[in-house]
Structure 1
Amino acid sequence: MTNAIQNTPNQNERALDGGIEWIVARQLAPLQDELVRLRAYVDALREVVVEPW
């Protein structure tokens, strides 16, 4: 056996979780811009429709 570093199951799980978080964040990043625009639109619409009442 060589002197390779042996990862424990907890280390492997943390690495997997970190990879999953990175992938999810990368996939959702474009949607965050859309959500910000949508929220601004809804806020403006609320001011026009709800506030006058």
Structure 2
Amino acid sequence: MHCAICGARFEGDIDHVRVEAEHIRTSDPNGVREYAFHAECWDRLSEGWMDPA
């Protein structure tokens, strides 16, 4: 896998975060993408975010 933030490669046997993002379109089919992040990169990115609703 490659981290979506820093681009560095890592194996799936280390701590990491996987996010599935759905792009919701009103007139076209929806699109889903999956991203992987080093745990540290994710922590820096999501720092200060509110908890999901």
Q: TM-score range by the shorter chain?
A: under 0.3
Larger fraction in strand: 2
TM-score normalised by length of structure 1:
0.25
TM-score normalised by length of structure 2:
0.25
Larger Rg: 1
Larger fraction in helix: 1
